[in-house]
Structure 1
Amino acid sequence: MRLPGRTAPARALAATAVLALGLLAGCGAGDTSGSSDVVDQGYQSGDGSTTTWAADERPGPVQVAGTDFEGVAHDVTDWRGDVVVLNTWYAACPPCRAEAPDLVALATDYADQGVHVLGINGTDAAGAAQAFQRQFEVPYPSLADTDGTAVAALQGTVPVNAVPTTVVLDREGRVAARILGLADASTLRTLVDDLLDEPGAPA
């Protein structure tokens, strides 16, 4: 049984990079990651910890929009009524590369159930990001967020303390769960399954 706003035991330990634009510095109350900087390496640890919120306590709705690396506009408000998985990443991030196959499998396996996956990349130029997408055969879009707009919008609703961070939105666009650092595949699928099974979900 998950309790609202509690951090579950970490499933994985991954060294993760701080966002280059510094938008994530000085996170406010509610940060339960326990992350700390690695001296002289510019990294911040995200331990894979998962925080969930009960349906009546979820922050949001989240409003994240932008243009992907192919020039196509995306807005999560267009996906209201569906479950949305947001994932921050960049190409040279080791845990981002480690979790990429699991995110690809999730997006593929749940596409017919109305689950959308959207990446947010605030670091890479188009060439590096697209090479990553080709290498891992990523079927979902990623916002080119070098100006930090999408992350700032997300950060305004839920603290995003590390890269990668994965945020799962319910059908109303509210934050149901957040994973700081490398996302465990089975944990992420359980979170998505639970949201798909919530009362009021389409049959």
Structure 2
Amino acid sequence: MAVQLAGFLSAGQGPAAERSPVAAGNRTVTEYAPEDRGEPVALSGTGLTGEAIDIAAWRGDVVVINVWGSWCAPCREEAPILAATSAAYADQGVRFVGINVRDNSAAAIAFEESYGINYPSIDDSNGKALLSLAEHLPGAGVPVTLLLDRDGRPAARVLGAVQESTLTALVDTVLAAPIAGSS
């Protein structure tokens, strides 16, 4: 079941009621109740500089997955927000990973360097990373951001450019929740 974030987005408070996803400008924000999050997400691939990335190793941390392309204007809009938020939460058990679509490595790396993005991105020129997330990103274009709880399950999704207040509020909410099965 999706939880509407209208009150959350407009008043800076928690979700007002259980409803459909809320459209906020040119983006749609959906938060999933813990009982509706399903199984942990499997995502792995090769980073832009050739390193192996597998988010299964990050269980216990909140994970923010951002799908982007250097040619995407909304991706350029949100890139400084993602870089700053990643840095702000670096020592709080929050990991960020990008999924780059359609860029060659040089263009993708130049984009990350120009925005100060220090977290890894998967090179998804073969489409396998997006395919592994198809259940959670049906028909989504770019950018799209998926937050995973500390059990690796989808906790929230933002279709379109994420705003700083939205991202930090979602991260704070997911970070504050207990790990499933813990007291």
**TM (normalized to structure 1)?**
0.78
Tell me, yes or no, if the aligned pair for 1:59 and 1:158 is still in contact at 8 Å: no
Counterpart position of 2:32: 53
Tell me, yes or no, if the aligned pair for 1:67 and 1:144 is still in contact at 8 Å: yes
Could you tell which deviates more after superposition, 52-61 or 137-146?
52-61
CA–CA distance in structure 1, aligned partners of residues 139 and 123 of structure 2:
17
Bigger helix fraction:
2
Counterpart position of 1:6: 20
Matched, 1:108 2:122: no
Counterpart position of 1:35: none
Matched, 1:174 2:153: yes
CA–CA distance in structure 1, aligned partners of residues 125 and 109 of structure 2:
15
CA–CA distance in structure 2, aligned partners of residues 153 and 140 of structure 1:
20
1:122 shift after superposition:
1.9
Matched, 1:86 2:65: yes
1:9 shift after superposition:
3.3
SS of the residue corresponding to residue 112 of structure 1 reads: coil
Unaligned segments of structure 2, at least 5 residues: 1-14
Unaligned segments of structure 1, at least 5 residues: 13-46
Matched, 1:125 2:108: no
**TM (normalized to structure 2)?**
0.86
1:3 shift after superposition:
4.7
Runs of 4+ more than 6 Å apart: none
1:6 shift after superposition:
2.4
CA–CA distance in structure 1, aligned partners of residues 101 and 41 of structure 2:
18
Pick the aligned partner of 2:50 from 61, 71, 75.
71
1:178 shift after superposition:
0.5
What is the one-letter code of the residue matched to 1:6? Answer: S
SS of the residue corresponding to residue 155 of structure 1 reads: coil
Tell me, yes or no, if the aligned pair for 2:83 and 2:116 is still in contact at 8 Å: yes
Tell me, yes or no, if the aligned pair for 1:4 and 1:57 is still in contact at 8 Å: no
Alpha-carbon spacing, 1:200–1:87, altered in 2? closer, same or farther (3 Å) = closer
Tell me, yes or no, if the aligned pair for 1:160 and 1:180 is still in contact at 8 Å: no
Pick the aligned partner of 2:143 from 145, 148, 164.
164
The aligned length equals 167
- Over aligned residue pairs, what C-alpha RMSD do you find? 1.7
Counterpart position of 1:37: none
What is the one-letter code of the residue matched to 2:23? Answer: P
Tell me, yes or no, if the aligned pair for 2:69 and 2:75 is still in contact at 8 Å: yes
